[in-house]
């Protein structure tokens, strides 16, 4: 398990920097093959984002010994790591997705520990359950890797906390000025009004939303409006919420291949993978709605195939990204996924030292929907 290095010297096995010659040859290799950040606190390696003095990775996309995980979406929490460290509430999500046998340790927000001399702490990212920004401090220099984040308080995730740092690693999924979310209370009201409208016409309301994060927000918004039915893939993740102590409204789990006749004028929530399937079409007298940040763009092909679209996202919108970055006071910003080229260029125009870096994030949740649209348009 992960322990503070002053508690457990075994962690020092991670560190291979004791011998100067070995260190020098490693440094040479890194220069040849990888980008090295200005102050060498971070490297963007083939396996993922690497903290050099700490000898661990953040959300690595290839198997490594020690991985700190920002949140449970599958492009940030991948299988095959020897050790995982994450927020307490992310532990049941990782176990549900990667298997209960993984070696994982959970810690609280703002609970510092030290790994190979690097002081580490997790801070709320406001993205989904347990999502955390990783703050790393070494010899007075502070780097924050934010994973995915949103600055709006969705009422379920611990609200985003701004952390001052020298270097900030940011996503940019919705890093274009067209993306501006309504306040959460108004988003929820839109959902409820749409359900009321369907109920007055005797229709079943079918919501399509990502199974980790979005589905639970939809459930919460519709609490008390009628029977909530969720696809069993969502039910599996709901149990992770419940075991983390987060209360969700009462719901029924459905296998839509078998239970479709049980649905009548109720509310159904399904993951995006079912959108174009016959399974949804078999639901009698239904209206369907997509809940995604991409719904802000009316031309999205998938929006046209649905009866309604609601711009609800677990990522920061344009102003949220800019404000979050400004509040860090960072002198160096790395943009990892989303609208990386445009967004980093915009930051440079604001006289910020911003750089686009290549990662393998953005293969789950709303980024996938963007890619699907790009192909379809
Ligand atoms: Zn995510
Ligand atoms: Zn992401």
> 111 alpha carbon to ligand 1 midpoint, in Å?
22
Question: What is the tens place of the pLDDT at every residue in 103-119?
Answer: 999 999 999 999 999 99
- Residue 75, both tokens: 């492009």
∠ Cα 259 211 242 (to 5°):
90
232-243 vs 91-98: helix crossing angle, rounded to 10 = 140
Q: What is the assigned CATH class of domain 9-178+315-376?
A: alpha beta
Q: Could you state, in order of their start, the residue ranges of all structural domains in the chain?
A: 9-178+315-376, 184-310
Question: What is the tens place of the pLDDT at every residue in 134-189?
Answer: 999 999 999 999 999 999 999 999 999 999 999 999 999 999 999 999 999 999 99
Average pLDDT over residues 48-52: 97
Min mean pLDDT across 8-22, 171-185, 289-303 is at 8-22
The ligand whose atoms approach the alpha carbon of 336 most closely is 2
What does the mean pLDDT of the chain come to? 87
What's the predicted TM-score (pTM) here? 0.87
Which residues lie near ion ligand 2 (Cβ < 5 Å)? 148, 361
> 180 alpha carbon to ligand 2 midpoint, in Å?
19
Structurally, at CATH architecture level, domain 184-310 sits in 3-Layer(aba) Sandwich (3.40)
pLDDT bin (cut points 50, 70, 90) of residue 9 is: very low
Q: How many other C-beta atoms are found inside a 10 Å radius of the C-beta of residue 55? A: 21
Average pLDDT over residues 209-230: 95
- pLDDT confidence of residue 37: 46
- pLDDT confidence of residue 303: 58
Average pLDDT over residues 206-214: 94
pLDDT bin (cut points 50, 70, 90) of residue 276 is: confident
Question: What is the tens place of the pLDDT at every residue in 339-358?
Answer: 999 999 999 999 999 999 99
- pLDDT confidence of residue 11: 37
Question: What is the tens place of the pLDDT at every residue in 31-40?
Answer: 544 444 445 7
Round to whole Å and give the CA distance between 225 and 215. 15
The ligand whose atoms approach the alpha carbon of 125 most closely is 1
> 360 alpha carbon to ligand 2 midpoint, in Å?
9
Cα–Cα separations (whole angstroms), residue 361 to 45, 47, 77, 125, 242: 13, 12, 10, 16, 27
> 337 alpha carbon to ligand 2 midpoint, in Å?
7
């Amino acid at each position: 398990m992960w322990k503070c290095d002053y508690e457990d010297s075994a962690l020092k096995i991670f560190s291979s920097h004791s011998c100067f010659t070995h260190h020098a040859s490693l440094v040479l290799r890194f220069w040849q093959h990888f980008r090295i950040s200005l102050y060498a606190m971070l490297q963007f390696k083939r396996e993922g984002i690497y903290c050099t003095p700490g000898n661990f990775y953040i959300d690595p996309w290839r198997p490594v010994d020690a991985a700190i995980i920002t949140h449970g979406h599958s492009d940030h929490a991948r299988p095959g790591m020897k050790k995982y460290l994450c927020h307490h509430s992310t532990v049941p999500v990782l176990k549900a997705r990667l298997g209960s046998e993984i070696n994982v340790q959970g810690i609280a927000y703002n609970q510092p520990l030290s790994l190979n001399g690097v002081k580490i702490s997790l801070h709320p990212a406001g993205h989904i359950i347990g999502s955390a920004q990783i703050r790393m401090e070494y010899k007075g220099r502070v780097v924050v890797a934010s994973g995915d984040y949103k600055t709006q308080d969705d009422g379920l995730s611990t609200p985003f906390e701004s952390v001052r740092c020298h270097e900030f690693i940011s996503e940019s999924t919705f890093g274009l000025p067209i993306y501006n979310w309504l306040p959460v209370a108004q988003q929820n009201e839109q959902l409820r009004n749409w359900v009321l409208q369907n109920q007055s016409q005797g229709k079943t309301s079918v919501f399509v939303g990502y199974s980790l994060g979005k589905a639970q927000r939809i459930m919460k918004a519709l609490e008390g409006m009628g029977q909530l039915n969720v696809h069993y893939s969502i039910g599996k993740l709901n149990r992770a919420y419940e075991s983390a102590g987060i209360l969700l409204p009462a719901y029924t789990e459905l296998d839509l291949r078998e239970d479709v006749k049980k649905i009548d004028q109720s509310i159904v929530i399904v993951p995006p993978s079912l959108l174009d399937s016959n399974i949804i079409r078999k639901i009698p007298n239904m209206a369907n709605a997509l809940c995604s940040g991409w719904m802000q763009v009316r031309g999205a092909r998938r929006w046209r195939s649905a009866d309604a679209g609601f711009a609800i996202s677990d990522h920061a919108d344009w102003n949220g990204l800019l404000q979050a970055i400004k509040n860090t006071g960072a002198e160096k910003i790395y943009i990892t996924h989303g609208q990386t080229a445009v967004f980093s260029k915009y930051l440079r125009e604001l006289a910020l030292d911003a750089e686009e870096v290549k990662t393998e994030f953005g293969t789950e949740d709303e980024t996938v929907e963007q890619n699907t649209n790009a192909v379809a348009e």
